[in-house]
Structure 1
């Protein structure tokens, strides 16, 4: 005796079985017709098919502006350290500015493509 799947998967399985049983096997596979039949089955079972429109955790403009300001501050500190011949701090400032700029660039890209930050 096999156990019946529960919940959403049971309804999806039933919709696919319904399509499989009610479709002529020699009929060519037509995706839109299959999608329509399965959608009708799911809707008749009480399911609503809709896109997920919840607010995403995209990077905020304020956070991106802060990253850019910190990168500019690191670059300015690197220039100031280089003027007084403190090359070690100048190199660290350049490294910090580069890393913060890279992070800001990724956040801008994620925001432009409406993706969650990684």
Structure 2
């Protein structure tokens, strides 16, 4: 593959990516399709040639939010039971609705974490 260097060495990453894609597009024979994997490898080579390193960074875990939602759901459940014991049906229903909302939020957080962590 014939790679040309961009005209200046102090390019921004966007300039380097643009130059790499232009270079890949120009060096690919007209009858041949442009494959995304090859274009990505070409861009990565151009970035590395200019001193940029592309590496995966670990995603921050957000389990603390799920734990907080579960703790608030437990507090709302306790408030609902206490309100029921005292005969305050309206407060018990509000507390039960709060518990349901916090449990739903915790479930959504858990589902989001398991689907994003299973992706490569």
TM-score, normalized by length of structure 2? 0.66
5+ long unaligned stretches in structure 1: 1-5
Tell whether 2:14 aligns with 1:44. Answer: no
Larger relative contact order (Cα-Cα within 8 Å, sequence gap ≥ 6): 1
Query: Which of 36, 50, 57 is the aligned partner of 1:31?
Result: 36
Decide which of 9, 15, 20 is 1:15's aligned counterpart: 20
CA distance in 1, matches of 2:79, 2:103: 10
Task: Tell me which stretches of 4 or more aligned residues in structure 1 moved more than 3 Å.
Answer: 110-115
Distance 1:113 1:26, change over 3 A: closer
* Cα displacement string for residues 12-36 of structure 1 (whole angstroms, at most 9, x for unaligned residues): 1111121122221122323333222
Provide the residue aligned with 2:106 in structure 1.
104
CA-based RMSD of the aligned residues comes to: 2.8
- 1:42 Cα deviation from its structure 2 partner: 1.8
Q: Does 1:74 align with 2:74?
A: no
Partners of 1:100 and 1:78 in 2: how far apart? 18
Is the CA contact (8 Å cut-off) linking 1:74 and 1:97 kept in structure 2? no
Uncovered stretches (5+) of structure 2, i.e. residues with no partner: 1-10
- Count of aligned positions: 107
Give per-residue Cα distances to partners, 1:96-115, cap 9 Å, x unaligned: 22223223323333443458
